[in-house]
Structure formats: C-alpha cells, structure tokens
C-alpha cells in the first residue's frame, strides 16, 4: 500500500521529506505535486526503479521519454550538450516554471536514458520537487499521471490519486489539489523555441 504523506509547500516537514528521499534511494516510486499536475517520479540512477516506472506507463524503458526534474539549471551540463548563451538566457528567463524543454542529450546520461539523442528538462516552480531534488543530490525522472476518465485528462485530487495508485507506488505526497493543465513542451534543439505541446506555460 502506498503511504500518504501530507507535505505542505509553505512549510515542508523535514522528517517527511527525508522519508521521501529514503524511498527514492531504495528504488521506490513516488507521486509528487508540481506547478502543473501531479506526477510520478523515481531515482534516475536506479535502473530497476526506472523499469518499474516504464511498466506502470505500459511501455518499454528504451521507448520511454521520461523528463528529468531539476531544482535549478546547474545540472544541465550533466545531461545536455553545450548550449548557446542565448538558449541559456532563454531557459533562465522561463525557469522555474511550467515548461518542459527538449535539449540535445550528451553521452553521460544515466543508464536508463542511454541512446537518447534528446532529453526533456523540467524545473518546476514548486518548493516540494525542488526540495526533493536538492536533498537527494541529483534530479529525478518524471512522467505525468494520466486519468482513465474520458472527460478528465489529469487527476487533481491527491486522495483519489492515492486510491488509484495504492498498490503501484510507495509514496503519494498530498500537497492539496493539483492543476489539471500539463507543462508546455518546447523543443530547443534547433536553437529556436518550437512549441510541441501548448500547456500551462506561455512563451511570450
């Protein structure tokens, strides 16, 4: 059964955040809040956890395109090829925020991402995922939670999410109602922003 942890953005309890970190280090899956929708996450360096995440999404790991959640832009060089100053400025002006930016990947990607030519980078404007990444010491893999309902695309109620994923994940972080609009996906591989999916984030 999934453990439900009520962690509030205004004052995240350190002991509960530490429990999330321990779970991630032990290969567990978590559901966490963001500045857009609730999402599934795991340790990017734990291949078994990544396989579980792919299985949960009913896809093969090598075919998956899980985003990487960072708490700032300092991890960019770990996963991406060198980027132009203009692209970096563009990223800096939009992050943290409700965007997923597609960038060219380098050859130092974690094992689960080997062979990927591009990678999606997220820096959510939400204290909880930022704190998780900071305390873990490295980014986490992430994918959105889809709803089976024909009308609703994304679940917003953490209690209903916990009910649905009860036996599939280890921890559900309840941080109140989430949004029902996903991040805007922007391809930056050509150097110019190309919107792949319009979501919550607005490119001016």
Q: What is the pLDDT of residues 83-110, one digit of tens each?
A: 999 999 999 999 999 999 999 999 999 9
Helical pair 14-25 and 127-136, crossing angle rounded to 10 deg: 60
Strands 67-69 and 118-122: parallel
Cα separation of 27 and 175, whole Å?
Answer: 22
In DSSP terms, 187 is beta-bridged to: 102, 194
- 19 touches 25 (CB < 8 A): no
35-69 pLDDT per residue, tens: 999 999 999 999 999 999 999 999 999 889 999 99
119-176 pLDDT per residue, tens: 999 999 999 999 999 999 999 999 998 766 665 677 899 999 999 999 999 999 999 9
- 50 touches 141 (CB < 8 A): yes
- Centroid of chain to Cα 10: 20
Cα dist. 157→119, 147, 160, 162, 173 in Å?
29, 11, 5, 9, 11
- 96 touches 130 (CB < 8 A): yes
Cα separation of 197 and 190, whole Å?
Answer: 16
């Amino acid at each position: 059964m999934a453990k439900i942890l009520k962690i509030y953005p205004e004052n995240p309890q350190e002991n509960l955040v530490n429990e999330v970190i321990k779970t991630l280090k032990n290969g567990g899956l978590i559901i966490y809040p963001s500045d857009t929708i609730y999402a599934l996450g795991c340790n990017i360096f734990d291949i078994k956890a990544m396989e579980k995440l792919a299985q949960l999404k009913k896809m093969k790991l090598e075919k998956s395109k899980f985003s990487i959640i960072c708490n700032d832009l300092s991890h960019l060089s770990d996963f991406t090829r060198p980027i132009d100053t203009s692209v970096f400025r563009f990223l800096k002006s939009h992050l943290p925020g409700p965007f997923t930016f597609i960038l060219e990947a380098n050859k130092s990607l974690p094992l689960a991402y080997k062979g990927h030519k591009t990678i999606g980078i997220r820096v959510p404007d939400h204290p909880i995922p930022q704190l998780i990444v900071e305390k873990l010491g490295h980014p986490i893999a992430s994918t959105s939670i889809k709803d089976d309902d024909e009308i609703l695309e994304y679940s917003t109620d953490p209690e209903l999410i916990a009910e649905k994923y009860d036996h599939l994940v280890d921890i559900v972080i309840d941080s109140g109602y989430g949004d029902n609009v996903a991040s805007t996906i922007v391809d930056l591989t050509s150097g110019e922003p190309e919107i792949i999916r319009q979501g919550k984030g607005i490119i001016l």
